[in-house]
Amino acid sequence: MIILILIRLFLLFVKVALFNFGGGFAMIPLISAELEQYQWLTSQEFMNIIAISQMTPGAIAINTSTFVGFQVAGIFGAMVSTLAIPLPSMILVIVLYPVLDRNKNHPLVKMVFYGLRPVVAGLIIAAVFFVGNTAVITSEYIDMSFIEVIRNPLKSLNFGSIAIAIVGFILISKTKINPILLMVVAAIVGILIF
């Protein structure tokens, strides 16, 4: 059973890495969709993993895959997931670099890279909506449809998270507070509130 989960984790993160353009934030909706399919983590658990991944040193893609793998299958899940993220990129760079380098001015190659720009923007916007929805909407409304949330907007909003975000934004923009200190204070306030 654990071998099957490890294989699924590996394939999940290889697929995410293979079709991910735009960095770690662009892969958030892709991972979320896969996690929902397998029902390994709730959206709130995944949101917590994203928050920890952002605060941990290193690339968010690697950190997220490591934490998801660990949550799903322990230390072996973390190792398999972490190795799966850079593997497709390494193979593609080794195989495609000579071809792309020779044809970098070809109109078809330029069109492909221009076409990827809106895809990257769309994936990052989807990540913003996922993170915002999970952070701003209360847990009992998190799995409800957009229409249901609109019907009861004040009941569905998580005012504690909104207040922490607004105060943090004001402090960052108006003072020279250290962002790490602000994250620690926000985490402590979040723990006390929730």
Pick from 157, 151, 165: nearest CA to 134: 157
CB 109 within 8 A of CB 103: yes
Same domain membership, residue 114 and residue 84: yes
Same domain membership, residue 60 and residue 135: yes
Residue 144 has pLDDT above 70, yes or no: no
Same domain membership, residue 35 and residue 84: yes
The pLDDT, as a whole number, for residue 74 is 92
Pick from 57, 39, 25: nearest CA to 129: 25
Higher pLDDT, 77 or 33: 77
Same domain membership, residue 181 and residue 139: no
Helix axes 28-38, 60-84, angle to 10 degrees: 50
Model confidence at 9, pLDDT cuts 50, 70, 90, reads very high
Rounded to two decimals, the pTM is 0.62
Same domain membership, residue 122 and residue 53: yes
Same domain membership, residue 186 and residue 136: no
Same domain membership, residue 52 and residue 146: yes
If you average pLDDT over residues 165-172, what whole number do you get?
90
If you average pLDDT over residues 16-22, what whole number do you get?
77
What is the residue-wise DSSP string for 21-85? -S-TGGGHHHHHHHHHHHT-S-HHHHHHHHHHHHHSSS-HHHHHHHHHHHHHHHHHHHHHHHHHT
Token pair 């994250």 in the structure block, residue: 183
Tally of domains within the chain: 2
Same domain membership, residue 190 and residue 151: no
Cα gap 180→194, rounded to integer Å: 21
Q: Which pLDDT tens digit goes with each residue over 60-79?
A: 888 888 999 999 999 999 99
Q: Which secondary structure element, helix H or strand E, spans residue 136, and what is its range?
A: helix 107-136
Question: How deeply is 145 buried, as exposed, middle or buried, from its count of CB atoms within 10 A (0-12, 13-18, 19+)?
Answer: exposed
Please give the backbone phi and psi of residue 176, each rounded to the nearest 5 degrees, phi first.
-105, 40
Q: Which of 8-22, 43-57, 129-143, 150-164 has the lowest mean pLDDT?
A: 129-143
Range of the domain at 163: 159-194
Same domain membership, residue 169 and residue 141: no
Model confidence at 80, pLDDT cuts 50, 70, 90, reads very high
Q: What is the mean pLDDT of the chain?
A: 82
Residue 97 has pLDDT above 90, yes or no: no
Same domain membership, residue 163 and residue 113: no
Same domain membership, residue 124 and residue 163: no
Cα gap 92→90, rounded to integer Å: 6
If you average pLDDT over residues 120-142, what whole number do you get?
72
Same domain membership, residue 100 and residue 10: yes
